[in-house]
Amino acid sequence: MRDETLVVRAGRPPASPGGAFLPGPVFAGPFHAAGDPAASPFTYGRFHNPTWSAYEAALGELEGGIALVFASGMAATTAILGSVLRPGDAVALAAECYYTTRVLARGYFAEMGVEVRLVPTVGGLDPAQVTGVRLVWLESPTNPGLDVCDIAAIAGVARAAGALVAVDNTTATPLGQRPLALGADFSLASDTKAMTGHGDLILGHVAVREAAWAERLRAWRTQTGSIAGPFEVWLAHRSLATLALRLERQCQNALAIAEFLARRPELLRVRYPGLAGDPSHAVAQRQMHRYGPVVSFEMAGRSEAERFLAACALIHEGTSFGGERTTAERRARWGADPVGEGFVRLSAGCEHIDDILADLAQALDRART
């Protein structure tokens, strides 16, 4: 079944007279469960929920594995790190990965006795860097730099060293690339972003190939209470039906934006994996089906970037990405990413490309004056 059909049909119940195409969310703490709890499919809302089950079934089909939904992308990240790592273990963390993941690993997990190694993953992985490592953590494309690492090649190096591999797939989504098929043991995403695409919920998920890891993650979710609300999960499942449509438009817009920006002489650099001249384009062509909605570019400095953002009329300034409206922000304002003061991350929305380009043009022109 093709992606465009799968996102519409996955996790939905079979047709039945009078049945809903997507049943509404189930709000429940306790469920009716007389006698032996094992005889009831649902017993208590921290353990399981039929709304979760439907969305997880859909995600599993998209990811090519077993999926579990979590309260946020960082809850999903924490679940993997917490389920895999023990005091004395080592984790090789992509130096380019999401800053909150780096903060979490170098803070809480390092304090618990986990050795955290920040390693560059663009261009491959030196086997010496993963000697004695329990987990290799990748992100591709990276946020916000948009570097793409060769997941299959790195997974091979990690496997030879006896390490597991997790890939943060938030920027690409499963329609952009499927890490499990490329050799990863864990694929995770912040569903807050392109997966749901409307900027109206916080959610995350993890997909795995092995049932044993699914059970470990499920136990972590149950015991820590990092569960998602049924309404948010239902909204996510509803939004999933338009994922292919949204991504198609967003990726078309992102490429057109990147090509437009690449012609602007005042910009220091433009990054987009789908751009023919991008440093990551060759790797992206091999492993990605879609290049994602995010474009990054660098202006001369902070004042230029701030003037540009203030001059935008259609493009809204805001953090996060993957939504149906085009947004942009100066990432250095957070003080966490290794980027220049004039670095701008732009998330292409679903508006008409002519309107987006017109807004970019007038804002860039005004930023120069």
Residues in the chain with pLDDT < 50? none
Helix (H, G, I), strand (E, B) or coil at 42: coil
Decide the pairing of beta strands 204-208 and 66-70.
antiparallel
Within 8 A by CB and 6+ apart from 231, the residues are 25, 27
State whether 259 and 340 are in the same domain: yes
State whether 91 and 206 are in the same domain: yes
Structural domain boundaries enclosing 301? 244-367
State whether 304 and 193 are in the same domain: no
Question: What confidence score (pLDDT) does residue 80 get?
Answer: 98
State whether 250 and 235 are in the same domain: no
Question: What confidence score (pLDDT) does residue 66 get?
Answer: 98
Q: Tell me how far the alpha carbon of residue 348 is from its chain's centroid.
A: 15
Report the alpha-carbon distance of residue 61 to residue 272 in Å, rounded.
Answer: 28
Residue 241: phi and psi, rounded to 5, are -60, -25
State whether 235 and 265 are in the same domain: no
CB 45 within 8 A of CB 28: yes
Beta-bridge partners for 90: 115
State whether 121 and 142 are in the same domain: yes
Domain boundary among 240, 263, 296: 240
State whether 226 and 251 are in the same domain: no
Question: What confidence score (pLDDT) does residue 336 get?
Answer: 87
Give tens-digit pLDDT for 297-334.
999 999 999 999 999 999 999 999 999 999 999 999 99
Cβ atoms < 10 Å from Cβ of 327: 20
Domain boundary among 222, 240, 258: 240
Question: What confidence score (pLDDT) does residue 171 get?
Answer: 98
Task: Give the DSSP H/E element, type plus range, for residue 287.
Answer: helix 281-287
State whether 147 and 224 are in the same domain: yes
State whether 207 and 318 are in the same domain: no
For the chain, what is the domain count? 2
State whether 268 and 155 are in the same domain: no
Report the alpha-carbon distance of residue 151 to residue 77 in Å, rounded.
Answer: 18
The DSSP symbol for 44 reads: B
Q: How many CA atoms lie within 13 A of 261 on its CB side?
A: 28
Question: What confidence score (pLDDT) does residue 81 get?
Answer: 98
CB 170 within 8 A of CB 203: no
Q: Could you tell me the CATH number of the domain that includes residue 257?
A: 3.90.1150.10
State whether 273 and 154 are in the same domain: no
Q: What is the DSSP string of 53-106?
A: HHHHHHHHHHHTSEEEEESSHHHHHHHHHHHH--TT-EEEEETTS-HHHHHHII
Question: What confidence score (pLDDT) does residue 255 get?
Answer: 98
State whether 173 and 304 are in the same domain: no
